[in-house]
Amino acid sequence: MWTYGIMPLLGLVKTNGFLNTRQLMRHFAEHGEEFKAGTPQEYVQMADEFLSGNKPAHIHECRRKRGDLLRFDPVTEAYGVLDGNGTIRTFFKPVPCVTIPLSQRVLVRLSGRCHGHPDNLSYFQSECKRW
């Protein structure tokens, strides 16, 4: 069985992919639908394209002190983190809790499925300041 971890997918990815198959499958299960990815392979390729190579002018980017590269696309709302070793840590579309109906907000926030910032750009900027 092929694993989607440190070894690039048949040379198609420019990053090191996710840490291991389990991480990829977890992220795909949680976020693949957000990107309309039909397979884990499609999802990791989207993450790879977003986090590697030249950054389009409209995408925000920062680097944390420990070397993580963060990118946020305000058009698509895509957000991703690539660690200093080139491994994808995450790739998803953040959700501000204020956009969740009040009746569901507490449960969604407790589940970690939304953030407390007023918008996703603020979330990105806050994440850039973390270690």
In a domain, 9, yes or no: no
Instruction: Report which of 79, 112, 90 is spatially closest to residue 28, judged by C-alpha positions.
Output: 90
In a domain, 61, yes or no: yes
In a domain, 14, yes or no: no
In a domain, 7, yes or no: no
Q: What is the CATH number of the domain that holds 53?
A: 3.10.450
Question: Where in the sequence is the domain holding 42, given as residue range(s)?
Answer: 21-129
In a domain, 12, yes or no: no
In a domain, 6, yes or no: no
- 3-40 residue pLDDT tens: 444 444 444 558 999 999 999 999 999 999 999 999 99
- 81-103 residue pLDDT tens: 999 999 999 999 999 999 999 99
In a domain, 95, yes or no: yes
Matching residue, tokens 């491994």: 87
Residue 62, strand partner residues: 70
- Number of folded domains that form the chain: 1
- 35-77 residue pLDDT tens: 999 999 999 999 999 999 889 999 999 999 999 999 999 999 9
In a domain, 91, yes or no: yes
Asked if 19 and 85 count as a contact pair (C-beta separation under 8 A), the reply is no
